[in-house]
Structure 1
Amino acid sequence: MSFNPNQPHGGGPAGAPPNMAASFNAMLQRSVQDHGSSEPISEPHINPPPSIGYRGVYNATPPPAQFAAPNALGGARGISQQILPTDLPPQAFLTSAMLLDMVDKKVDVLLRDEKEYIGILRSYDQFANLVLTECYERIAARNPAAIEDPTIPPWLICDVKLPGVMTIRGENVTICATVDLDREDSPKGVTVALEKDVRALAAAQKTDKKDSDARKATALKKAGIEPGFGMHG
């Protein structure tokens, strides 16, 4: 039985590597060559089969050490600038958990409709809904006398005691801050007045502001501009 070394053979048994046919041809060439011939036979280069594994980010090459910036944002871009401090507690990076240090302290809460409440923060939830006790509503109005005399405090205020427990919806809160107990008895820029006087003055100023916003909204609509929040046309 004779073999033709130039005759191609099959790809080998099922499951064999793709380069087995080339290896089989080289073996046949060695077996049928003339023993007196000293010409070397070049064997084909066999590439190892590709490794089986995950692609993409799982096999991504890590950035060089000079560009890596641990514990800093943007380190993979070659910037080793420290953006966030590392000594902050974990709860400082959560929205509602920032109220953790305000629990059982007196806070001043300003709402979107410009109402203001002062009380002791007792509890809150993940939506920043607040529960206040010993709560007061602070009513404020601009002092008309301060227009002519700049030395007069520009605001008139009065605090009205609210009974029971006050619950404030978190989405209505604009500002929530602790009150300085050493300075709360003498606030700057305000004058304490009677409740009836402050309420009447605040109601009149609110009506004037509403009329002014309505005129501005009408003018904006005529110019083809949609009025913003709080403006009624």
Structure 2
Amino acid sequence: MMENLSIHDPPPQPGGSSLGRAAAAASASTSSAAPQPQQLPPQMFTTAAQLLDLTDKKLLVCLRDGRKLNGVLRSWDQFANLVLQSTVERIYAITSDPSDPQPKGLYAEQTHGIFLVRGENVLLLGEIDLDKDDDPPPGFEKAEFAAVEKLAKERRAVEKTKEKKKLQKLATLGFEGENLGEVML
């Protein structure tokens, strides 16, 4: 039999004996001056159960590969596989112009429509505030998708090169990272 618990239900009391109930009553009477923090039932931490509240709402979904998707959550399953409708991918890049000491941020959007995301690829997701949804990200200007994508790829290539050099230097000092074998090849 499955219980329907909510966040407001008291945590289950250990032991079903009268001795256990008497100890619980005694602890309740001594702790009435200082209320104990309420514990959440274990069911509240199930990923799929948390998605129930987000169904039919606009979400930002950050994926493990770095992509950021905005879309309306229409369906999901027990593995947290998501079906997003009206999905838009947003990419970000920072320009580094030597003549301009202040780098500026650019962003671009590409429409995907219906998008299926495997649950294992979701890094983070959250509800979007619809009042602020149409505002551009602070410090960023909208640009062409191809231009922003090119800048973002160049920046990732530079960061990857720096990371390889750092791992190689650490290897010479005796440190071994989990990806060190890939770097040395």
TM bin (shorter chain)? 0.7 to 0.9
CA distance in structure 2 between the aligned counterparts of 1:229 and 1:58, rounded to whole angstroms: 52
Bigger shift: residues 177-186 or 217-226? 217-226
Count of aligned residue pairs for this structure pair:
161
1:85 CA displacement: 6.4
1:66 CA displacement: 2.5
Question: Aligned-pair RMSD on alpha carbons?
Answer: 3.2
Higher relative contact order (CA 8 A, sep 6+): 2
1:107 CA displacement: 0.9
Instruction: Give 1:102's aligned residue.
Output: 54
Q: What is the SS of the residue equivalent to 2:53?
A: helix
- From 130, 142, 147, the equivalent of 2:82 is 130
Q: What is the SS of the residue equivalent to 1:144?
A: coil
Q: Determine if the alignment matches structure 1 residue 206 to structure 2 residue 156.
A: yes
Instruction: Give 2:126's aligned residue.
Output: 177
Q: Which has the larger radius of gyration?
A: 1
CA distance in structure 1 between the aligned counterparts of 2:150 and 2:87, rounded to whole angstroms: 22
1:192 CA displacement: 0.7
- From 58, 66, 74, the equivalent of 1:114 is 66
Query: Structure 1, residues 119-153: CA drift from partner, whole Å, max 9, x if none?
Result: 1111111111111111111111123259822xx6x
Taking every aligned residue pair, what percent have the same amino acid on both sides?
A: 34
**Amino acid across the alignment from 2:55:** V
CA distance in structure 2 between the aligned counterparts of 1:229 and 1:156, rounded to whole angstroms: 31
CA distance in structure 2 between the aligned counterparts of 1:103 and 1:126, rounded to whole angstroms: 14
1:225 CA displacement: 2.2
TM-score w.r.t. the length of structure 2 is 0.73
Q: What is the SS of the residue equivalent to 1:84?
A: coil
Gaps of 5+ in 2: 1-14
**Amino acid across the alignment from 1:107:** L
- Asked if the contact 2:81/2:117 (under 8 Å) is kept, the reply is yes
**Amino acid across the alignment from 2:83:** V
CA distance in structure 2 between the aligned counterparts of 1:231 and 1:129, rounded to whole angstroms: 32
CA distance in structure 2 between the aligned counterparts of 1:161 and 1:168, rounded to whole angstroms: 15
CA distance in structure 2 between the aligned counterparts of 1:99 and 1:230, rounded to whole angstroms: 37
Q: Determine if the alignment matches structure 1 residue 93 to structure 2 residue 45.
A: yes
Gaps of 5+ in 1: 1-56, 70-78
Query: Structure 1, residues 72-91: CA drift from partner, whole Å, max 9, x if none?
Result: xxxxxxx96224369xxx96
Instruction: Give 2:167's aligned residue.
Output: 217
TM-score w.r.t. the length of structure 1 is 0.59
Q: What is the SS of the residue equivalent to 1:102?
A: coil
CA distance in structure 1 between the aligned counterparts of 2:173 and 2:18, rounded to whole angstroms: 56
Query: Structure 1, residues 79-120: CA drift from partner, whole Å, max 9, x if none?
Result: 96224369xxx9643222111121111111101111111111
Q: Determine if the alignment matches structure 1 residue 66 to structure 2 residue 26.
A: yes
Which structure has more strand as a fraction of its residues?
2
